[in-house]
Amino acid sequence: MHNALSALTAELRRLKTAGVRTVAVSDESIAALKSVLLVRRAEKQKAPPAGAVAGMDSPGPRAASREMTLASVQPDRATPESIPLPAVPTVTLPAGDKAARWAALREIVLSDTTCRAHIRPGKKVVFGVGSIDAKIMFVGEAPGGEEEIQGEPFVGPAGQLLTKMILGMGLKREEVYIGNIMNWRPELLAAAGASQVGNRPPTAEEMRYCLPYLRAQIEVVNPDLLVALGKTAAEGLLGFGTFKALGDVRGRWHEFAGKPLMVTYHPSYILREPTNRKKRLIWEDLLKAMERAEQPISEKQRGYFLDK
């Protein structure tokens, strides 16, 4: 039934893109759609649905068919809940050394059918990269356009800035570990066959699904500390609703999976406003991480971005 619904939404999307605003729908089709939506709603609410589906119940102008407006039709990939997420995965790693366990985990994530169901043709599920002996693990929210092409976190514009920040810390990109909470790029509305334009933050449910994979990477790599990049990553790690503004939690130590967690801004924040004042804010958080990881810090490094 899910496939049939996907095919239907794809066709409606195609018509909408072609400029069609209304379609005639037979009573029989409406009844079939209603039953699917009722089942979904019941599954979501884990309770028997009460009443009918909004907008599908009023008597139509014609007996044999009704008109459905396409303005409300969202393609499958535009709605996060359109591909239902199963229970969060349980990760069981094989015995073996660190490298073997990491490689096994990578394989598990890259072949996860739920992750794969959320990527568009030709795009990649994204797993963490870097040193499996890293002391510092950076955690972002989700892959973007460039990341899903290359199958590597933080390789787009924000990633290039992150790489510069890491170099400023006296480290190479390959010496830290870089991961995301999400392993797929959250989908946005796009016409059939077209590329996704723009990103959206992952939902709490999506992050819950992928979190076991991040936890497992933390377990295998066993870094000294984590650095969460941006509000969404911080929410994913600290819990939704635990803070209002990023300023409430950034620059301070928290804990996730038994590891000290520093929260700072996402590099894209600096891309939007590349002032020394903003750079210094992130830099001060990174200095704290360097100190805690017992990374040497020169006087020059301590003074970066002080001239506002």
Q: Which residues bind ligand URA (CB under 6 A)?
A: 140-144, 147, 153-154, 156, 158-159, 180
**Nearer residue to ligand URA within complex by CB, 101 or 231:** 231
**Nearer residue to ligand URA within complex by CB, 9 or 180:** 180
Q: State the nearest-atom distance from the C-beta of 152 to ligand URA, in Å.
A: 8
Q: Which two tokens stand for residue 246?
A: 């990023």
Q: State the nearest-atom distance from the C-beta of 45 to ligand URA, in Å.
A: 32
Nearest Cα residue to 222 out of 254, 174, 258? 258
Q: State the nearest-atom distance from the C-beta of 145 to ligand URA, in Å.
A: 9
Q: State the nearest-atom distance from the C-beta of 183 to ligand URA, in Å.
A: 10
Q: State the nearest-atom distance from the C-beta of 185 to ligand URA, in Å.
A: 9
Cβ–Cβ < 8 Å for 76, 191: no
**Nearer residue to ligand URA within complex by CB, 156 or 223:** 156
Q: State the nearest-atom distance from the C-beta of 171 to ligand URA, in Å.
A: 18
**Nearer residue to ligand URA within complex by CB, 96 or 157:** 157
Q: State the nearest-atom distance from the C-beta of 80 to ligand URA, in Å.
A: 17
Question: DSSP of the chain, one letter per residue?
Answer: -HHHHHHHHHHHHHHHHTT--EEEEEHHHHHHHHHHHHHHHHHHHTS---SPPTTS-S--SSSSEEEEEGGG---GGGSGGGS---SPPPP-PPSS-HHHHHHHHHHHHHT-HHHHHTSPTT------EE-TT-SEEEEES---HHHHHHTSSS-SHHHHHHHHHHHHTT--GGGSEEEES-SSPPP----TTPPP-S--PPPHHHHHHHHHHHHHHHHHH--SEEEEESHHHHHHHH-TTS-SSGGGTTTSEEEETTEEEEEE--HHHHHHS--HHHHHHHHHHHHHHHHHTT----HHHHTTT---
Question: Nearest-CB residue to ligand URA?
Answer: 140
**Nearer residue to ligand URA within complex by CB, 41 or 254:** 254
**Nearer residue to ligand URA within complex by CB, 68 or 178:** 178
Q: State the nearest-atom distance from the C-beta of 98 to ligand URA, in Å.
A: 23
**Nearer residue to ligand URA within complex by CB, 180 or 295:** 180
Cβ–Cβ < 8 Å for 21, 69: yes
- Distances, alpha carbon 189 to alpha carbons 73, 75, 83, 197, in Å: 11, 7, 14, 8
**Nearer residue to ligand URA within complex by CB, 112 or 148:** 148
